[in-house]
Amino acid sequence: MATMNTSTWHSHFNMQARYQVWVTHRLLEAVSRVSDADYRRDVGLFFKSIHGTLNHMLVAEHLLWYPRFAKGASPVLALDAEVEPHRERLAQALKGGSANWTPLIASWSAERFDGQLDYRTSKGDPLSLPFAATLAHVFNHATHHRGQITAALTAMGQPCPELDMVYFLLSEQAPKA
């Protein structure tokens, strides 16, 4: 039987968090090779540019969802807010934010995953959703926007790394040098 902090939920979401760190670094490495003009150009993404999409990812995952899960706080922040105009600082904030999830997940009891997440939306409306499913949404949301960014990179003729989770799993199994 699983004990506190070693449940199936912990194992699953710990893997998701490790993948999030790995894939964030790989995506941002690819994005770093794009000219500033292409990085900021409206390429038809929901948040217009690669920069706008990365800013949205910082807002949603790290400035809205993380405080909801970590502190029970519900910040009010527009989903399209440009919270970091400088591209290198934005990349560092995304890398740092992705690293925060692993210790947070480890801090929860196994029972927490079966509960509810009570929070307020970015518009201030109260919501209560299943905790584990909502946490899954956070990681899935990142996948959605990474897909948009890689499509934009491909359309620009830029190379994209393999970001599929199986490549992450293989990298974890590879012998360390």
Please, which contacts does 138-142 make with residues 24 or more away whose CB atoms are closer than 8 Å?
138/61, 138/65, 138/69, 139/13, 139/16, 139/17, 139/19, 139/20, 141/57, 141/60, 141/61, 142/20, 142/23, 142/24, 142/57, 142/61
* DSSP 8-state class, residue 112: G
Which pLDDT does position 3 carry in this prediction? 44
Which pLDDT does position 5 carry in this prediction? 59
Which pLDDT does position 177 carry in this prediction? 73
Which pLDDT does position 62 carry in this prediction? 97
pTM beyond 0.85: yes
Name the stretches of the chain with pLDDT < 50.
1-3
